[in-house]
A and B are shown apart, each in its own frame.
Chain A
Amino acid sequence: MRNILLFIQRYFTFICFLILQILCIVLLSRSSKSHETFFSTAANEVTGKVNQQYSGVRQYFSLRETNRMLTEENVRLRNELTNNYIDTASTQLVTTDSTLRDSVGRMRKYTFLPAHVIGNTITLQNNFLTIERGSAQGVKKGMAVTSPQGIVGVVVEVGPNISRVMSLLHRNSRVSAMLKKDTVTGSLEWDGADPTYLTLRNIPKSSVIKKGDTVLTSNYSANFPSRLMVGTVADIRSESESNFFSLTIKTAVNFFNIQYVYLIENVRYKEQLSLEQTTPTRQ
């Protein structure tokens, strides 16, 4: 017993070093295994507050750009208003409806929520955005995040007033995306190199692709509505050992200056997810 105590006394710093190292590795593995940030709510709120102060200052420098983007989006949305279209049969009146259930009996599937970005990284291997909306404002885990220009990421961590978004520029980010031309679906990932390019994998070689083709979100995603802008094809690589193309996608959204985003909630997200995760039973 005495020898053990002497041993501990002698190598006290080394043992402390080992304990701290193990603690670090445990924290790290816990955070990456679950594809989410391991993030205690208290720390989240504190770093969120600092980010908020800083972004309050920074925001003024990009007001012009933000305004331009919002105006562009307004113009686009205005062009899509129903009263801009005249029906060929003028006896019918077409209206849009924003209620939960419209008169034809269709249910509302997606709801939108605006949010202000107060923290954003692009230079790391695993990048996150911090947004100033939380569970108190109706944010839930798994909500899709888009900017006026294109999709941005997925909510992974929700505090009372501040949430974290796993950006598309994250090693573990996987989004189902398709080519607009022939709706061939692949998996959208990031290779960690350049924050303006993503990689679209699993596009079969049978599809005809040209540089500049538009890539949209696919119909299969649980959190993203279909046909949201992702980017354009910048480079086509044909993998010799497989039957798939690997496409380099120029992102539509500029990750360097995201200021405002929309959170999109799929009302049936939980239902779809729980159904997809069950193992099919044999009849």
Chain B
Amino acid sequence: MNPIIKHSIRFVFFILLQVFVLNTISPLHQFIVPYIYFLYILWLPIGIPRIWLLLLAFIFGLTLDYFTGTPGLHAAPCVAIAFLRPFLLKLLLAQETAEAGYMEPGHKSMGWAPYITYAVVLILLHHSYLVLIEWLQFGNFLYFMGKVAGTSAVSLLLILIAELLIPRREKQRAVK
């Protein structure tokens, strides 16, 4: 499939999933909000130009924000993880994999351990930032820590489930 079409479908899918399914789940606990929408940014191709990555993340976050009525709230963490993503990938990937720019980060292209590290770092960053700006005016530190931990755990679980459920066909690069 054409990658542009593929990522556009993903864009719409993740927004709808977050707005109409995950955001309507009745809260189990005040710490736990299931967030998975930013997996879209995690799954963008490795070699995407950094400026496009930033812009896409911004538009993506803002789209979600217009559904929840809080412009900027989700866009800011999205842009933050999009900015840090290339550095993290450079650290985690072996040289020759990093050059295979059209590939997407995933357990097949990276291996389980680096992929989970990659996901955990970005999840923690995203949630810390999100909860921080959400709670800046109320300032209860215990709540902040609890919410970051709870939300991150649920997100990691969702991302692992998604990774196992959704088969993403990775073209294996033929040796030239």
10 A/B residue pairs, CB under 8 Å, sorted by A:
A14-B83, A20-B54, A20-B55, A27-B65, A47-B66, A121-B23, A122-B27, A124-B33, A164-B69, A194-B27
A125 within 8 A of B: yes
B97 within 8 A of A: no
Contact A123 B27 (CB under 8 A): yes
CB B140 to nearest CB in A, in angstroms, measures: 10
B45-79 toward A: CB 8 Å interface, digit per residue (1/0)? 00000110011001001000111111111011001
Contact B71 A27 (CB under 8 A): yes
A112 within 8 A of B: no
Within 8 A of A (CB), among B1-40: 20, 23-27, 30, 33
Q: From A170, which residue of chain B is reached at the shortest CB distance?
A: B69
CB B126 to nearest CB in A, in angstroms, measures: 13
Bound Cα distance from A27 to B83, whole angstroms: 20
Query: A17-B79, A20-B58, A24-B79 known; A123 and B72 CB under 8 Å?
Result: no
Residues of chain B whose beta carbon lies under 8 Å from any beta carbon of chain A: 20, 23-27, 30, 33, 50-51, 54-55, 58, 61, 65-73, 75-76, 79-80, 83, 133-135, 137-138
Contacts A24-B72, A171-B137 known; 16 new A-B pairs at CB < 8 A? A17-B80, A23-B72, A25-B133, A31-B71, A44-B66, A54-B20, A119-B67, A123-B25, A126-B68, A128-B68, A164-B69, A171-B138, A192-B30, A193-B30, A195-B26, A195-B27
A154-188 toward B: CB 8 Å interface, digit per residue (1/0)? 00000000001000000100000000000000000
A-B pair count, CB < 8 Å, reads 99
Within 8 A of B (CB), among A43-79: 43-44, 46-47, 50-51, 54
**Count the A residues whose beta carbon is within 8 Å of the partner chain — how many?**
40
Bound Cα distance from A128 to B27, whole angstroms: 16
What 8 pairs across the A-B complex have the smallest Cβ distances? A28-B72, A27-B72, A24-B76, A24-B72, A27-B71, A128-B69, A193-B30, A17-B83
Q: Which listed residue (B26, B33, B71, B83) contacts A28, Cβ 8 A?
A: B71
A275 within 8 A of B: no
Contact B71 A38 (CB under 8 A): yes
Bound Cα distance from A14 to B69, whole angstroms: 28
Where chain A touches its partner, the secondary structure class is helix
A183-227 toward B: CB 8 Å interface, digit per residue (1/0)? 000000000111100000000000000000000000000000000
Contact B58 A121 (CB under 8 A): no
Chain B contacts for A26, CB-based, 8 A: 72
Q: From A51, which residue of chain B is reached at the shortest CB distance?
A: B67
Chain B contacts for A31, CB-based, 8 A: 70-72
CB A84 to nearest CB in B, in angstroms, measures: 39
- Interface hub of B24, B51, B61, B137 (most chain A Cβ within 10 A): B24
Query: A13-B54, A17-B54 known; A123 and B24 CB under 8 Å?
Result: yes
A1-44 toward B: CB 8 Å interface, digit per residue (1/0)? 00000000000111011001101111110011000011100011
Bound Cα distance from A237 to B81, whole angstroms: 42
Contact A13 B72 (CB under 8 A): no
Query: A17-B83, A25-B76 known; A124 and B68 CB under 8 Å?
Result: yes
